[in-house]
Amino acid sequence: MSETLHKETSELNQEVQVRRLAYSDLPAVISIERRSFPTPWSLAMFVLELSKPSGICLAASADEELLGYVVCSRYDQVWHLMNIAVAPARRGTGVAGQLMRRLVEESQGMLPFTLEVRVSNHRAIGMYERFGFRSAGVRPRYYHDNGEDALIMWLD
């Protein structure tokens, strides 16, 4: 990585604040969601996840601008990472990594994590692997928009 790019990335990471996602963030969340996924979550889906007391929903922001979010639900003895997205202009700047670090911290390491990710999403798979997630199989035709398979990943 060039010194200039490393410095710019470090500066971007320093200004980012990770906090609990709030209902007031949802208009910005929906905007990022629609630009990130071919079949975006609805507002109702985000409201439902935010209303669950056992879940962890986090936002990354800088200068009052929402940069990204993560939604994680607890199911009995496992955390399920449901949704993570970063605004297109801020991808590759470490925002998703900051969200993941905080998510793991807030879970207190008491339970394993699982997630599904498109098999074609090599960038996301690489990030998850850097956090210690490992492949545990494939869900065939998991994504309804194009029938793409999902890679199942676990972090113990």
Nearest to 57 by CA among 20, 108, 112: 20
Q: Which residue among 8, 15, 128, 142 is the active-site one?
A: 128
The DSSP secondary-structure symbol of 42 reads P
Domain 3-111 homologous superfamily, CATH: Gcn5-related N-acetyltransferase (GNAT) (3.40.630.30)
Q: Do 48 and 81 form a contact (C-beta atoms < 8 A)?
A: no
Q: Which residue among 116, 142, 143, 148 is the active-site one?
A: 116
Q: Tell me the pairing of strands 113-118 and 78-86.
A: parallel
128 is catalytic: yes
Domain ranges of the chain: 3-111
**What does pTM read for this prediction?**
0.87
DSSP for 95-146, written as a single string: HHHHHHHHHHHHHTT-S-EEEEEETT-HHHHHHHHHTT-EEEEEETT--TTT
Q: What is the pLDDT of residues 67-113, one digit of tens each?
A: 999 999 999 899 999 999 999 999 999 999 999 999 999 988 778 99
142 is catalytic: no
